[in-house]
Amino acid sequence: MDLQTPIAKAGRWQQRNARQLEKLGIYQLADLLFHIPFRYEDYSLISKIAQIQPGEVVTVEGTVLEIENNYTKNGLKIQKATITDDTGAIDVTWFNQPYLTRVIKKGDVISLSGKVDYFGKYPQLQSPEYEIITDPNVRIHTGRLVPVYPETKGISSKWLRRQIYQLLSLEQTKALEYLSEELRARNNLLELFTSLQTIHFPKNLEQIEKAKARLAFDEVFLLQLKALKRRLEWKEQLQGISFGLEQHKGNIDQLTNSLPFTLTNAQQKAVEAIFTDLKSDKPMNRLLEGDVGSGKTIVATLAMYLVYLNKHQSVFMAPTEILAQQHHATISNLLSPLGVKVALVTGSKKLEKSTTGTTSITSATSKKSPRDTRGTFDTRGTFSYDVLIGTHAVLSEKINFERLGLVVIDEQQRFGVSQRAILRKKGKNPHLLTMTATPIPRTIALTLYGDLDLSVLDEMPKGRSIVKTWLVPKVKRTAAYQWIEKQLKETQSQAFILCPFIEESESMQTVKAATKEFERLKKDVFPNLRLGLLHGKMKSKQKDETLDKFRKGNYDILVCTPVVEVGIDIPNATIMLIEAAERFGLAQLHQLRGRVGRSHKQSYCLLFTESESELTKKRLKSLESYHVGLALAELDLQLRGPGEMYGTMQHGRNTLKIASFLDTALIQKARKEAKKVMQEFNKHEGIAKKLSEIADTDVSPD
């Protein structure tokens, strides 16, 4: 049996459960070995039946004297057994597991682990863990520290234990080690097989920590190594396009001086770094990180203008149609007066007018479609504009480029490796600039984005006001509604009311849903105001029409879901009310409040929560005093951990199962070793083989 065998092609039982195992991130047999327990049941106290005490969690071993199914008047199925050893007997009861009488037979030697209760005057075990003893030296589910794993429907910890135990007995599992003895000794690490054996079936709690230390190191080390290897290959193997700067400096200065604002120091540094990259014949691979409103778009626009001056094309990909349209409007206003041909391509089914009044080319555009007067696709599908802005529609096979020099990807975590690869193949190793408004703590950036050069916009443009933020107590909800109505009328402004879900859920009845809340607010709370509704299940045309009405002032309040998190720019909106705020990470809440405060008017963010947790209230109140996204992300990392900060973490990205992003010492140690290995990579055959076996699901460009 090969550990690299896909689950769907493994044994009968694995094949049967392949789809469910994929939900746990288990795609091949080796993944089972690295499916780590999240806790352990302590069944290590083994006792004779006559010596057990009520309340104890114990393991008893004996012979099955009898076992049968009993049925109550209410139809409840009860399984009763009697187990004996050389000191006495004990009754055992299970509920609604009639198959047990086929599995456990009279005369079987059995081990049982559970809590001892009294039934009348006699001790009893109710629903204990059990295993039939065939080898007196082997215990998997009882009589030891027993691992409990993340589960899903149809996949129990007991099933996982059996599979993992079998895999650990294979010779090739014992030969999994890929780190040299010298590296392990230098970092005080156990052998890999010993660590796996210990993490799944430890003899004591102290052993678990040593095993975790090795496996945590491996997680971070391999992530760092993959990133450094990609970075080296990118720099050494790819030949890019070198763009001249000096001869075009006057044009760049002309565009910069025409802006209605002065670039911040952070923007200037980012532009200088990007221009340095563009001058090199090695393709740029840079991540631009900055808060909503920090000015990432203008930095990207200056880069695209330099590419245009060098007679090459740029493509700008955004995650949503709304965001693509807004970028098109902004970039067109800046570049069109300078002779740059800018177009928009989206997934719409027909040609629509963009916000700047020029015709947008959609994914449905054919050779016979109406053409923009400034250019079009030629008969080969080659794009003749200078800048193409769009959604994933830019990936269409019908769209080709003759001189693609720069790819810009906004909100990069929403796109995967394959999508980026398609874009790069449309040119000859074009430069790549990815952008994100998600604040990423340095420890996470070092671990996950080690292959990227990083520029951070850590200051806001002058004149951008701070959004006043309040955590509103439940008793002040009605007063808050009254204040909102008064504020909107006095300032002639607008508000967002955001709910985490579109519709009510049976399991989340206390959490407000947008559709029902819209009806309640419209009828009972704001009958004198005009309300609109926006959520992710609406068709693109409906969303556009709703947003257009809100932008034009036809609605006073927009009730919405987090669909507004990215790319909605309504300068007249001054209030953001967020329901069930505890369901969002601080970084996401910070992005949501960035939807307001986009004009000279003072803006506000109101946080509502039904939670009584003091920790939750403390976390949410931090938004009242923290106004920098990166600082909030660092705080949220400490309070909640990375998994909850980003929901399911970055889409498609390798998350850490054992290591912690808070463990800066581990991250630094692993990074140091990864750099050392990369300097003599050819000498590390085991590590090279290990890297080749890892399926690269990382979303950073490769």
Domain 246-457 in CATH 3.40.190.100? The answer is: no
pLDDT at residue 415 in the model: 57
Mean pLDDT of all residues in 476-489: 96
Mean pLDDT of all residues in 155-169: 94
Tokens at residue 607, please?
A: 């946080």
d(CA 560, CA 537): 11
The CA angle 503-509-512, to the nearest 5 degrees, is 55
Is 558's pLDDT higher than 80? yes
Mean pLDDT of all residues in 398-410: 88
d(CA 369, CA 354): 16
Instruction: Give the CATH number of domain 45-143; options: 3.20.20.370, 3.30.470.10, 3.40.50.300, 2.40.50.140.
Output: 2.40.50.140
Cβ neighbour number for residue 276 with a 10 Å cutoff: 12
Same fold flag, 45-143 and 246-457: no
- Segment 434-443, tens digit of pLDDT: 898 777 776 6
The CATH code belonging to domain 468-626 is: 3.40.50.300
pLDDT at residue 368 in the model: 37
Mean pLDDT of all residues in 228-250: 86
d(CA 437, CA 288): 9
Instruction: Tell me the one-letter amino acid at 280.
Output: S
- Segment 117-153, tens digit of pLDDT: 988 788 999 999 999 999 989 999 999 999 999 999 9
End-to-end CA distance of the chain: 31
Tokens at residue 595, please?
A: 């939807």
* Domain limits, the chain: 45-143, 246-457, 468-626
Beta bridge partners of 102: none
Three-state DSSP state, 432: strand
Is 505's pLDDT higher than 60? no
Q: What is the pTM of this model?
A: 0.68
Confidence band, pLDDT 50/70/90 cuts, at residue 15: confident
Residues of the chain above pLDDT 90, percent: 51
The CA angle 179-441-464, to the nearest 5 degrees, is 160
Tokens at residue 108, please?
A: 């079987």
pLDDT at residue 412 in the model: 60
d(CA 302, CA 420): 22
d(CA 317, CA 399): 13
